[in-house]
């Protein structure tokens, strides 16, 4: 069936003009669709490129943050290492001379020391020392440090000196031989170092359990002194 059902209906219409009009509209429509398609593709391309750039910049920024964080951690670790080195007692030549002459002085002085700790009473002692602004030396036992690690750190952090008193304080064990004395010396040293978090900690100061003039100790005293003095 044609555009007009009867022949007389053709009168007044120019088929060529109508076809040209329809073709023109189709061309305009195609141009519009094509333009919109190009615009859409341009927008997609723009956002794709923009997103890629943003992602790249974001990754670079994250990398910078991670690098900065790592640098800060390194600085903190270096600072901690420096603090540990400063806190680690160093036996200097002057210190050695001072130890030799520790009981020789033109002025009266007293050294306040506590042995066999730390214990449940140590906190009370620390409070009294703090109230009176007094510093003391604590000759600790390795076995007690294992039981009271927090107290050991409190002693150290409040500015007192932690020295070595062996591990067990059991005479039959520690005084079997000079080598056994050294073993307990090293055990206590290591436990204190681990507890304080200072791997190289060494007080360079040792007090013999029971004193160094007891009858059984005296037989090994000189040898033990010579061994420990080199540590």
pTM above 0.75, yes or no: no
**Beta strand extents in the chain (DSSP E only):** 113-117, 137-140, 161-164
Task: Please choose, from the candidates 157, 158, 175, 155, the residue with its C-alpha nearest in 3D space to the C-alpha of residue 166.
Answer: 175
Long-range contacts of 132-138 (CB under 8 A, 24+ apart): 135/159, 135/160, 135/161, 136/112, 136/160, 136/161, 137/111, 137/112, 137/113, 137/161, 137/162, 137/163, 137/205, 138/113, 138/114, 138/162, 138/163
Q: What is the CATH number of domain 106-229?
A: 3.20.20.370
231 residues of the chain, pLDDT tens digit each: 455 455 555 455 555 555 555 567 777 888 888 888 888 888 888 888 888 888 888 888 888 888 888 888 888 877 766 665 555 566 677 767 766 776 677 778 788 999 999 999 999 999 999 999 999 999 999 999 999 999 999 999 999 999 999 999 988 888 888 888 889 999 999 999 999 998 888 888 899 888 766 545 555 555 665 556 655
Euclidean distance between the first and final Cα of the chain, in Å?
117
* pLDDT recorded at residue 217: 56
Q: Where are the domains of the chain?
A: 13-86, 106-229
Residue 113's beta-bridge partner residues? 137
């Amino acid at each position: 069936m044609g555009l007009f059902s009867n022949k007389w209906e053709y009168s007044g219409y120019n088929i060529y003009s109508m076809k040209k009009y329809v073709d023109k509209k189709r061309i305009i429509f195609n141009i519009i669709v094509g333009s919109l398609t190009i615009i859409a593709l341009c927008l997609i391309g723009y956002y794709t490129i923009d997103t890629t750039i943003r992602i790249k910049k974001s990754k670079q920024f994250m990398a910078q943050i991670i690098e900065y964080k790592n640098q800060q951690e390194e600085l903190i670790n270096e600072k901690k290492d420096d603090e540990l080195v400063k806190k680690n007692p160093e036996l200097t030549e002057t210190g050695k001379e001072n130890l030799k002459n520790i009981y020789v002085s033109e002025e009266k002085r007293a050294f306040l020391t506590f042995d066999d700790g730390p214990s449940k009473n140590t906190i009370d002692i620390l409070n009294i020392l703090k109230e009176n602004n007094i510093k003391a030396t604590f000759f600790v036992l390795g076995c007690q440090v294992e039981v009271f690690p927090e107290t050991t750190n409190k002693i150290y952090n409040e500015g007192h000196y932690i020295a070595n008193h062996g591990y067990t304080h059991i005479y039959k064990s520690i005084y079997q031989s000079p080598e056994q004395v050294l073993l307990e010396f090293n055990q206590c040293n290591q436990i204190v170092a681990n507890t304080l978090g200072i791997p190289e900690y060494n007080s360079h100061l040792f007090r013999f359990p029971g004193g160094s003039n007891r009858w059984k100790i005296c037989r090994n005293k000189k040898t033990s002194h010579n061994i420990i003095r080199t540590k």
